Amino acid sequence: MELNVAKMIMLAGGVLVVPVLAFVTSFLFWPGALLKAYNWYWRRRLGLVVRFSHSGNYHFCYSTRGAPGGATPSLLLLHGFSATKDMWLPVVKFLPRNQHVVCVDMPGHEGTSRTGPEDYSIRGQVERIHQFVQSIGLDKRPFHLVGTSMGGNVAGVYAATYPTHLSSVTLVCPAGLVYPTDSEFISRLRELEMGEKDESIPLVPTTIQELEDMLRLCCNTPPKLPRQFPYPHDSLYQHIVGEKSRHSLQENMHLITVPLQVIWGKEDQVLDVSGAAVLQGALPHCQVTVLDSCGHSVALERPRKAAKLITDFLSEQAVSDGNVKKVS
């Protein structure tokens, strides 16, 4: 009898060990696959559906929830360099369930087409995003555009180029400005350009150590998430930081006429928070919020706060629009 009990315990232990070993093996050898499974789970839980839109030979991959035409404008979310549409999952979690949301993979990222260099400049990305907007019919009524980092640069230039398509815009730690104070990232970038240091590009990690360095740079509290190596974005990065794209937002911000919200992490080491004052100086009526104890990755570090700021801003704009209609 005791022997049978011992065998049963060993069998039960074996049943438990197998899935644990499978999980550990997946984490160590297929981190990208594990991350995709994690994102798939959260998309399903949040009610997001992945779809594809085709325009000519170009295709866009995006996730969406809800339908346009609600009480508030649709939200189009643009991610930063080397990220994907799924970086917005923590923020979507805290948005109203009936809010129409669209998160798109930027040109050259994840499921969206990778083409020539012309699509990777900020201006090229603006035109591709406009192509996407038209392909899914988002241009039928004004929508709210949100962009972070590189996506913030694109969102700002988009707002300057296609103001009639937007109700308002939110820029989260946007790239593309001339910052009064150099961040750690900008300082390292200058050293690389001048040939003073022979090392990898800070935002294009190719090893675990370089990834950890990048996460410390981007997040005030770096997350422990599996990532896939190497990043296939080296050439894309070169076009984004090229002379024609580096200060795109700075050169176009005076053309932004729609209501503007700016959100920035006070501890941002990638793009210094002094950029917020640059935008406010050029556009005095913009709404600026600086988050204490937060770095560059606002969507990851302060998703609840980011979602509340955006929804509150949309509500304020709705009230403002209502008052204007009453006066007219």
Q: What is the amino acid identity at position 45? A: R
Task: Say how far apart CA 168 and CA 256 lie, in whole Å.
Answer: 10
| Tokens matching residue 14 | 């074996």
Catalytic residue (one of 86, 105, 119, 268)? 268
Catalytic hit among 183, 239, 296, 297: 296
The single-letter code of the amino acid at 21 is L
78 in Cβ contact with 154 (< 8 Å): yes
Q: Can you tell me the distance from the alpha carbon of 310 to that of 22, in angstroms, rounded to the nearest whole number?
A: 40
Q: In which residue are the tokens 């049978």 written?
A: 4
Active site residue 296: yes
Which candidate in 149, 168, 183, 297 is catalytic? Answer: 149
Residues comprising the chain, all counted: 328
Euclidean distance between CA atoms 208 and 216, whole angstroms: 12
* 274 tagged catalytic: no
- 66 Rama class: left (phi>0) / alpha (psi -120 to 50) / beta: left
Please enumerate in sequence order all residues whose Cβ is within 8 A of that of 170, keeping only pairs 6 or more positions apart, or say none.
144, 145, 146, 147, 155, 260, 261, 262, 263, 309, 310, 313
Told to judge if 54 belongs to the known catalytic residues of this protein, a careful annotator would answer: no
State the catalytic residues: 149, 268, 296
